[in-house]
Chains A and B, each alone.
Chain A
Amino acid sequence: MATNCENVSAQMMELLYGELPADARANVDAHVAGCARCRAELDGFQKTRAVARQVLDEAPPARARLAILNAAAAHLAAQAQPAAAAAAPAAAAPTPARKPVVEEKFSFWDRLRARWAFPTFATVGAVAVFLVANKMFLDPEKSLEHRPAATQEERAAPPATPPVPSPAAEPAPWEGKPPEAADNEAKMGHRMPPHGARVAAKPAGRADDDREGGERGAKKAKKEGRFAEPPPAKPAPAPAAAEEKAYRDQHLAKQKFAPPPPPKESASVPANKAADKIADDPFAAGAPVDAPPSLRGPAPSRRMKAPSQAQGDLDSLMTGEGERSRAGGGNALGSVGGVGSVGTTSKGDGYGSGAGAAPRTATAPRPTVGDASRAAQAPAAAPVQATAPPPPPPAPVATKSRAKRSAELEADEGYVAAEPGKAQQSKDEKKAGGKNAETETLLQRADRLFADGRWAEAAAIYRELLRRDPRNEDAERWRRRLVAAENAEVEQRNANVAAKRAEQKRDSAESAAPARKQAAPKASKATSTESQ
């Protein structure tokens, strides 16, 4: 019985509150019925419970319930309000009890939408920006990788492949060379380091569309008696240009300008790559202003980076900033605007638009600058160049092979190389075109600065010229000059940075050496003391 009493006492709480299982309950009941002590204990607890329950039955103040209900109703109203506002006209619900259900659901989704709409859009936007940036920043590398292949393609491609003779590529007659020789020279020119082709990234398709303008230019040139004979319709790229190229190739090798030193500053790589990219871009040499956007395709987005970066570089150079200012998003956008508005409007600081419109080219023209004798060898280049009509819509350009384009680009490059000595000629051209004197003086100054290798100043003036007169027939040349100047400047800066780094390295090495020397005696001293 004692164990039973203990068991009952142990299970007293469950027994008291009815939480005993049925079988256990029966055993306990049987024991309690025959055990006075257990029954007394149970009775005592039950009596205590009864009294306690009587005491603990105090009603809360009525105002508390009122306040609670008011708050509950207010909460409901607040929740239903947005939904009610959304479904206001259709709120003529027949059953008042049903209507709030709908409103509640509405309000829930409404809140959900309101809570997630902005984060969702923000995330999507961020991803989009990232993707675009990714493409812009990483694509140039691809173009660099593909570059050597393209060069080989160029070599393989016969120079006569352009189906339509390019008037811009004709100014050979004064050379008196047979077309074969010119072709050979052109091929030689193609062996230039790839970066050379970056200059004057004239779209290949332009050759087709330069027909009329080129003929016009040829006539004009003939009138001025500069051509010994009318330029024969020859499909090959300009022999003169090729000769120029070959000459410059040698010159480059001599001056160790080409190939450009591998950029030691990592930051400079994208710029050059971007320049490559731009050169590859058929539209980079001056996107046709009137071309419908659909024809341009993805070109603007590809071009976004390089011009803006070039702008950043140039600006930082001009302002004497030590560190390259990477083009930010705003800058890039501004440049895109500049690209889009080439020849029509020029917004911003007077630099951005021109830079954005102009193709990035490499150092090619630089060695030719100041080489008066060489410049004099290509007297006809400038006229042809200057009379080139505004670029036509680029639709066919995109289908042209890279090799063809490169060939024509190099031909153009030749003209660029021929430019420096021909400022006067181009001036005449412009006068004939009815351009004002201010532009002339500016152009003269720019050409002089360019010849002197003062890239930043020259680039600034070219930009200004482009801004003032983007439709000028000489604008194409200005753009090439501008880009060439910018690139030259960047390269110069890269070289400076590399030199500075090398100097720092040397300095640090020198400073480290004495430190080691000092440390060595100390160590030996310490070991000697220890041994003692």
Chain B
Amino acid sequence: MSNDEADEVLLQAYRAGDVRAFERLVARHEKPIWNFIRRFVHDAATAEDLLQEVFLRVVKSADEWRGAAKFSTWLYTIARNLTVDHARRSVHRNAASLDAERTHGESTSTLHDRIASPDRRADEVASDRETKQRIDEAVAALPAEQREVFLMREVMEMPFAEIAAAVGASEPTVKSRMRYALEKLRAALVELGGERPSAAESSGSG
């Protein structure tokens, strides 16, 4: 993503008929978009459909893009809008709530229980798989507006100003949401890694 200009060049090449240029664009951006979608859409098949939909939208409206914004910003805004709209429409939300039973995982305790549990041993540091799972859960537990800001900032690497424009909020608001999201995730990691929550809390408040 360091060469955003190349995005524009690649898109021009695609509009000129070079499908391989578009392939490079897809290869460059599909993962952030996929990860963004996956944190809003639990069903993998639906997430796949959405991913295709995002790029199809780009294909169809490639002529309309005139370079007013960075291509990546434009692309991610499309992805964000499609995903959030879908998530709002879907009746069944797959996002785990703090009190929801975990559907996949060996433990039957709730996320809240595990985060709050004071008696977890330090040597129970999660494996990569468990870390991933818990981060997933922690991200899924974020309020949607924090989650989208977190993902856009962390996964899509959008500047705060662009995120603010994409979600229609002020930049301070976006930063505030980002901070809340990070703190919650850090708390989850502290719990997972056996870090002392008090230290994290003190550092967070200071």
Which residues in A have some Cβ–Cβ distance to B below 8 Å? Answer: 5, 9, 12-14, 16-17, 19, 37-38, 40-41, 43-45, 47-49, 51-61, 63-65, 67-69, 71-73, 75-76, 80, 97, 99-101, 103-104, 108
**Interface hit among B11-19, B68-76, B93-101, B107-115:** B11-19
Count of inter-chain pairs, beta carbons less than 8 A: 136
Q: Which of B59, B175, B203 lies in contact with A75, CB distance below 8 A?
A: B59
Q: Which residues of the other chain, B, contact A56 by a CB distance below 8 angstroms? A: 35, 39, 135, 139, 151, 154-155
Contact between B60 and A64, CB atoms less than 8 A apart? no
Distance between Cα atoms of A51 and B195 in the complex (Å) = 14
Contact between A60 and B30, CB atoms less than 8 A apart? yes
Q: When A41-B206, A61-B48, A80-B17 are in contact, do A47 and B155 touch as well, CB less than 8 Å?
A: no
Q: Which of A38, A55, A63, A104 lies in contact with B135, CB distance below 8 A?
A: A55
Q: Which residues of the other chain, B, contact A75 by a CB distance below 8 angstroms? A: 59-60
Say whether B80 faces chain A, with CB atoms less than 8 Å apart.
no
Q: Which residue of chain B is the closest to A100 with respect to CB atoms?
A: B17
Contact between A76 and B38, CB atoms less than 8 A apart? no
**Interface hit among B1-9, B50-58, B84-92, B116-124:** B50-58
Contact between A60 and B204, CB atoms less than 8 A apart? no
Distance between Cα atoms of A5 and B63 in the complex (Å) = 49
Q: Which residue of chain A is the closest to B136 with respect to CB atoms?
A: A55
Q: Which residues of the other chain, B, contact A47 by a CB distance below 8 angstroms? A: 186, 189
Say whether B42 faces chain A, with CB atoms less than 8 Å apart.
no
Say whether B182 faces chain A, with CB atoms less than 8 Å apart.
yes
Q: Give the distance to chain A from B182, nearest Cβ to Cβ, in Å.
A: 5
Say whether B159 faces chain A, with CB atoms less than 8 Å apart.
yes
Distance between Cα atoms of A17 and B179 in the complex (Å) = 12
Distance between Cα atoms of A44 and B17 in the complex (Å) = 47
B residues 145-160 in Cβ contact with A at 8 Å: 150-151, 153-155, 159-160
Say whether B22 faces chain A, with CB atoms less than 8 Å apart.
yes
Q: Which residue of chain A is the closest to B159 with respect to CB atoms?
A: A19
Contact between A51 and B189, CB atoms less than 8 A apart? yes
Q: When A13-B175, A49-B154, A104-B17 are in contact, do A68 and B131 touch as well, CB less than 8 Å?
A: no
Q: Give the distance to chain B from A200, nearest Cβ to Cβ, in Å.
A: 68
Contact between A60 and B31, CB atoms less than 8 A apart? yes
Given A51-B185, A61-B44, A65-B27, output 7 extra A-B contacts at Cβ < 8 Å: A13-B175, A38-B206, A44-B203, A48-B182, A58-B31, A68-B56, A97-B18
Contact between B182 and A45, CB atoms less than 8 A apart? yes
Distance between Cα atoms of A101 and B14 in the complex (Å) = 10
Distance between Cα atoms of A398 and B6 in the complex (Å) = 75
Contact between A44 and B204, CB atoms less than 8 A apart? yes
Q: Which residue of chain B is the closest to A17 with respect to CB atoms?
A: B153
Q: Which residues of the other chain, B, contact A108 by a CB distance below 8 angstroms? A: 63
Distance between Cα atoms of A445 and B68 in the complex (Å) = 84
Q: Give the distance to chain B from A150, nearest Cβ to Cβ, in Å.
A: 64
Distance between Cα atoms of A38 and B202 in the complex (Å) = 10
Q: Which residues of the other chain, B, contact A99 by a CB distance below 8 angstroms? A: 17
Say whether B23 faces chain A, with CB atoms less than 8 Å apart.
yes
Contact between B203 and A69, CB atoms less than 8 A apart? no
Distance between Cα atoms of A97 and B20 in the complex (Å) = 11
Contact between B131 and A51, CB atoms less than 8 A apart? yes
How many residues of chain B get a CB closer than 8 Å to chain A's CBs? Answer: 53
B residues 126-154 in Cβ contact with A at 8 Å: 128, 131-132, 135-136, 139, 150-151, 153-154
Contact between B38 and A52, CB atoms less than 8 A apart? no
Q: Which residues of the other chain, A, contact B136 by a CB distance below 8 angstroms? A: 55
Contact between A69 and B19, CB atoms less than 8 A apart? yes
Distance between Cα atoms of A48 and B189 in the complex (Å) = 7
Q: Which residue of chain A is the closest to B19 with respect to CB atoms?
A: A73
Contact between A72 and B59, CB atoms less than 8 A apart? yes
Say whether B169 faces chain A, with CB atoms less than 8 Å apart.
no
Q: Which of A17, A44, A59, A71 lies in contact with B59, CB distance below 8 A?
A: A71
Q: Which of B16, B59, B189, B202 lies in contact with A97, CB distance below 8 A?
A: B16
Q: Which of A5, A37, A43, A101 lies in contact with B17, CB distance below 8 A?
A: A101
Q: Which residues of the other chain, A, contact B59 by a CB distance below 8 angstroms? A: 71-72, 75
Please list the 9 inter-chain residue pairs (A to B) with the smallest Cβ-Cβ separation, ordered nearest first.
Answer: A100-B17, A60-B34, A41-B203, A40-B203, A55-B135, A37-B206, A48-B186, A68-B55, A101-B16
Interface centre among A41, A43, A55 (most CB of B within 10 A): A55
Q: Which residues of the other chain, B, contact A76 by a CB distance below 8 angstroms? A: 14, 17, 19
Q: Which residues of the other chain, B, contact A38 by a CB distance below 8 angstroms? A: 206
Contact between A55 and B55, CB atoms less than 8 A apart? no
Contact between A72 and B52, CB atoms less than 8 A apart? no
Q: Give the distance to chain A from B61, nearest Cβ to Cβ, in Å.
A: 11
Q: When A55-B132, A55-B135, A76-B17 are in contact, do A60 and B48 touch as well, CB less than 8 Å?
A: yes
Say whether B26 faces chain A, with CB atoms less than 8 Å apart.
yes
Q: When A40-B203, A64-B48, A73-B19 are in contact, do A58 and B189 touch as well, CB less than 8 Å?
A: no
Interface centre among B30, B31, B52, B139 (most CB of A within 10 A): B52
Say whether B165 faces chain A, with CB atoms less than 8 Å apart.
no
Q: Which residues of the other chain, B, contact A67 by a CB distance below 8 angstroms? A: 52
Q: Which residue of chain A is the closest to B63 with respect to CB atoms?
A: A108
Q: When A44-B204, A76-B19 are in contact, do A58 and B38 touch as well, CB less than 8 Å?
A: yes
Q: Which residue of chain B is the closest to A49 with respect to CB atoms?
A: B154
Contact between A60 and B17, CB atoms less than 8 A apart? no
Q: When A13-B175, A37-B206, A56-B154 are in contact, do A71 and B186 touch as well, CB less than 8 Å?
A: no
Distance between Cα atoms of A60 and B155 in the complex (Å) = 14
23 A–B pairs (Cβ distance < 8 Å), ordered by A: A9-B206, A13-B179, A16-B182, A37-B202, A37-B203, A48-B186, A51-B185, A51-B189, A52-B185, A53-B154, A55-B135, A58-B31, A59-B34, A64-B52, A68-B56, A69-B23, A72-B26, A73-B19, A80-B17, A97-B18, A101-B16, A101-B17, A104-B16
Q: Which residues of the other chain, B, contact A73 by a CB distance below 8 angstroms? A: 19
Distance between Cα atoms of A468 and B17 in the complex (Å) = 70
Distance between Cα atoms of A44 and B185 in the complex (Å) = 10
Contact between B17 and A68, CB atoms less than 8 A apart? no
Q: Which residues of the other chain, A, contact B190 by a CB distance below 8 angstroms? A: 44
Q: Which residue of chain A is the closest to B195 with respect to CB atoms?
A: A44
